[in-house]
Amino acid sequence: MATDLAPPPVKAAKVAGHKPDRARTLWRYRWLYLLLIPGLAYFFVFKYVPMRGLQIAFQDFVPFLGYNGSEWVGFKHFVDLFTGPDFNRLMYNTLYLAFLNVIFVFPAPIIVALMLNELRINILKRSVQSLIYIPHFLSWTIVASLTYILFSVDYGVLAGWVHEFLGGQKIDYVAQPDWFRPIIILQTLWKTTGWTTIIYLAALAGVNAELYEAARMDGAGRWRQLWHVTLPAIRPTIVVMAILMSGNLLDMSFEQIWLMTNNLNRGTADVFDTFVYYVGINQGAFSYATAVGLFKGVVGVLLIFGSNWLAKRLGQRGLF
């Protein structure tokens, strides 16, 4: 029986010719699909299943009563957030830091990659490259400790030098609100630039050498080559990186900011992430914290779609 029934589908497929037969494709690439399963499972278990918990943003969640027992309160927590005294400050601090990130942190690896690309001594190029990506492997805790050691008003080495050269009052860099953002940006630059540079260097390595030759034949100098050959070649990479970054704009590095916060600079330092932690974990206001986090997540998604749309409008390929 089985042998009788088996052949016809094969024939049918043959008859169908070029029409893609899903089951067949699935079977043909079965090993590839099998490889896909762990990845999908990861996203499902760790990214989608937990989303069920987002419902507590609309409840007065009491863990003991659980999801079903807790009272539904609709948008109460969101109203509290938007009308509360913290919202404007959190929004301002978060956006300000995001803005500084766009201005300083985003272009830095591009500039460094271009500079490294111009180096002709390979050993120098490689050693510089390795040296600047080492900080990537240090945790924020270590970076914060280093900052305290270097900039403490009492025993900070760097703070001491600055004081010696410039004179004047000793400045408590790590406690002054005015110095909070510069320090955060400097830390981020120091820790992340080298690592991101690798991506741009990879893109630069893919640029066809013949293009440079042709440009030189036409009499283009270094700057012209950079402008007309190198930059257009890595533009897609820059765009993808920009879109990815836009989604994370409100995702400030929690650890970094938490570790650098103190009573004096809290007004400047508090961002959505630290607030969620403080309210949710420290104060046990789970619902309110989830509402804040959900709001931030929604804004992040909108930013990704927005910048992707913008990239397409500007004639780039975009992310999706």
Contact set for another protein, span 132-151 (CB under 8 A): 148
Question: Does position 297 bind another protein by CB under 8 A?
Answer: yes
Cβ 107 to another protein, closest distance in Å?
Answer: 24
Q: Report residue 248: phi and psi, to 5°.
A: -100, 10
- Among the residue ranges 98-106, 117-125, 294-302, 305-313, the one whose residues contact another protein (CB under 8 A): 294-302
Give the three-state DSSP class for 220. Answer: coil
Q: How far apart are CA 274 and CA 280, in angstroms?
A: 10
Question: Does position 251 bind another protein by CB under 8 A?
Answer: yes
Q: How far apart are CA 217 and CA 280, in angstroms?
A: 63
Q: How far apart are CA 146 and CA 157, in angstroms?
A: 11
Q: What would the x/- binding string for another protein be over residues 106 to 125, using CB under 8 A?
A: --------------------
Work out which of 63, 221, 232, 306 binds another protein, going by CB under 8 A: 63
Work out which of 284, 302, 306, 317 binds another protein, going by CB under 8 A: 284
Question: Does position 47 bind another protein by CB under 8 A?
Answer: yes
Work out which of 117, 188, 296, 307 binds another protein, going by CB under 8 A: 296
Residue 200 or residue 295: which is nearer to another protein going by CB?
A: 295
208-220 burial code (b ≥16 CB/10 A, e <16) = eeeeeeebeeeeb
CB 237 within 8 A of CB 200: yes
Residue 174 or residue 240: which is nearer to another protein going by CB?
A: 174
Question: Does position 164 bind another protein by CB under 8 A?
Answer: no
Residue 232 or residue 267: which is nearer to another protein going by CB?
A: 267
Rg from Cα positions in the chain: 27
Burial environment of residue 176 by CB neighbours within 10 A (0 to 12, 13 to 18, 19 or more): middle
CB 129 within 8 A of CB 121: no
CB 194 within 8 A of CB 188: no
Residue 27 or residue 67: which is nearer to another protein going by CB?
A: 67
Cβ 262 to another protein, closest distance in Å?
Answer: 6
The end-to-end CA distance of the chain, in Å, is 48
Question: Does position 320 bind another protein by CB under 8 A?
Answer: no
Question: Does position 74 bind another protein by CB under 8 A?
Answer: no
Question: Does position 306 bind another protein by CB under 8 A?
Answer: no
Question: Does position 28 bind another protein by CB under 8 A?
Answer: no
- Among the residue ranges 11-19, 100-108, 122-130, 290-298, the one whose residues contact another protein (CB under 8 A): 290-298
Cβ 55 to another protein, closest distance in Å?
Answer: 9
User: Of 268, 292, 270, 267, which is closest to residue 280 (Cα–Cα)?
Assistant: 292
User: Of 249, 299, 286, which is closest to residue 56 (Cα–Cα)?
Assistant: 286
Residue for token pair 């052949």 = 7
User: Of 306, 287, 285, 305, which is closest to residue 295 (Cα–Cα)?
Assistant: 287
- Among the residue ranges 33-41, 79-87, 123-131, 305-313, the one whose residues contact another protein (CB under 8 A): 79-87
Please report, as a single letter, which amino acid is at residue 84: G
Residues that bind another protein (CB under 8 A): 46-47, 49-54, 56-57, 61-69, 84-86, 148, 152-155, 170, 172, 174-175, 177, 250-251, 254, 262-264, 266-267, 272-273, 276-286, 288-290, 292-294, 296-297, 300-301
